[in-house]
A and B are shown apart, each in its own frame.
Chain A
Amino acid sequence: MSQRKKASASQSKSQQTNVNEDEMTLSQMTSSQVQRARENFSSVQIDRKVAEVVQFILVKDQKKIPVRRADIVKHVMKEYKVIYSEVMNRVRRTFEQVFGLKLEEIDTKNHIYILINKLEAGETVSMCPGNPKSGLLFVILSIIFMKGGVAKENLVWNTLKKLRVDSGEKHDEFSDVKKLVTDEFVRQKYLEYVKIPHTEPVEFEFRWGLRADIELSKLKLLEFVAELHDQDPQSWTQQFREASASESRT
Chain B
Amino acid sequence: MSRPMGDSHRRFLQSMMSNGIIGASQAKALHKHCCETHGAHYAHDRLDEFIDVINTQLQPMFMNIRKGMSEEDGLQYYALVNMAETDVTRMASDYADNELELFRKTMDLIVDSESGSASSTDILNCADSLQTKKLKKKETEHVLNKFVQDKWLNEKHGEYTLSVRCIIEMEQYMRVIYQDLIKVCHVCHNIALQCQICENPRCGIKMHLPCVARYFKGRSEPHCPACNDFWPHEIPEILRSQSQGSQSLSSSAKENTAPTPSTSTTRRSKRS
Contact = CB atoms under 8 A, between A and B. Distances in A.
Contacts of B260: 122-123, 125
A117 B7 CA distance: 11
B263 interface: yes
A194 interface: no
A24 to B, nearest CB: 30
A88 interface: no
A122 B82 CA distance: 27
A121 B265 CA distance: 15
B265 A224 contact: yes
B14 A224 contact: no
A227 interface: yes
Interface residues of B, number: 28
B269 A224 contact: yes
Contacts of B10: 98-100, 119
Interface string A73-99: 000000000000000000000100111
Nearest to B15: A125
Interface of B: 5, 7, 10-11, 13-15, 17-18, 37-38, 57-58, 60-63, 82, 84, 93, 260-263, 265-266, 268-269
Interface of A: 47, 50-52, 54-55, 58-59, 62-63, 94, 97-101, 117, 119, 121-123, 125-126, 128-130, 220, 223-224, 227
20 contacts: A58-B17, A62-B18, A98-B5, A98-B10, A98-B57, A99-B10, A99-B13, A99-B14, A119-B7, A119-B11, A122-B11, A122-B37, A123-B263, A123-B266, A125-B18, A129-B262, A220-B266, A224-B265, A227-B265, A227-B269
Given A59-B93, A62-B18, 13 more contacts: A50-B60, A51-B62, A55-B62, A62-B17, A98-B13, A98-B61, A119-B7, A119-B14, A122-B260, A129-B261, A223-B269, A224-B265, A224-B269
